[in-house]
A and B are shown apart, each in its own frame.
Chain A
Amino acid sequence: MAELFDQVAQAIRKDELCAVVTALSGERVGGKLLARRAAPREGGSPVEIAGSLGNGALDQAAVERAKDAMEAGRTTRVTIEAEGREWDLLIDVHVPQEKLVIVGAVHIAIPLVTFAKALGLYTVVIDARQIFATQDRFDHADELVRSWPEDALQEMTLSESTYFVTLTHDEKLDTPALIHALDHPVGYVGALGSKRTHAKRVAVLREAGVSDGQIARIHAPIGLDLGGRSPEEIALAIMAEIVQVRNRRTERNIDRSKEGRK
Chain B
Amino acid sequence: MKEILADIDGWRQAGKRVALATVVQVYGSAPRPLGAKLAVSEDGAMVGSVSGGCVESATVQEALEVLSSGAPRLVSYGIADETAWEVGLACGGTIEVFIEPLDW
- A residues sitting closer than 8 Å to B (CB atoms) are 1-5, 8-9, 12-13, 22, 24-25, 29-30, 32, 51, 75-77, 90, 92-94
Contact = CB atoms under 8 A, between A and B. Distances in A.
A75 B35 contact: yes
B98 A2 contact: no
A51 B104 contact: yes
B25 to A, nearest CB: 6
A12 B102 contact: no
Given A12-B2, A12-B5, A30-B72, A4 B24 contact: no
Contacts of B93: none
B2 A76 contact: no
Given A2-B104, A77-B25, 5 more contacts: A8-B1, A9-B9, A76-B34, A77-B34, A90-B34
Interface in B4-45: 5, 8-9, 12, 22, 24-25, 33-35
A5 B9 CA distance: 11
Contact of A93 (B2, B8, B35): B35
11 contacts: A1-B103, A2-B102, A8-B1, A13-B2, A22-B22, A24-B24, A24-B74, A25-B74, A77-B34, A90-B98, A92-B35
A92 B102 CA distance: 16
Contacts, number: 50
A161 to B, nearest CB: 14
Given A24-B24, A24-B74, A30 B100 contact: yes
A2 B72 contact: no
Contact of A2 (B34, B35, B71, B103): B103
Contacts of B25: 77
B24 A77 contact: yes
Given A2-B12, A92-B22, A75 B33 contact: yes
Nearest to B20: A5
B98 A24 contact: yes
B94 to A, nearest CB: 14
Contacts of A22: 22, 98, 100
A30 B12 CA distance: 20
A77 B12 CA distance: 29
B3 to A, nearest CB: 10
A93 B22 CA distance: 12
A12 B2 CA distance: 6
Contact of B22 (A5, A25, A90): A90
Contacts of A3: 104
Nearest to A23: B72
A3 B102 CA distance: 10
A29 B72 contact: yes
B70 to A, nearest CB: 10
Contacts of A4: 104
Contacts of A24: 24, 74, 98
A32 B101 CA distance: 12
Contacts of A92: 1, 22, 35
Contacts of B24: 24, 77, 90
A113 B46 CA distance: 36
Question: Considering residues A8, A13, A25, A90, which has the most beta carbons from chain B within 10 angstroms of its beta carbon?
Answer: A90
A70 B40 CA distance: 27
Closest 9 CB pairs of A and B: A75-B35, A30-B72, A75-B34, A90-B24, A92-B35, A32-B104, A4-B104, A30-B100, A12-B2
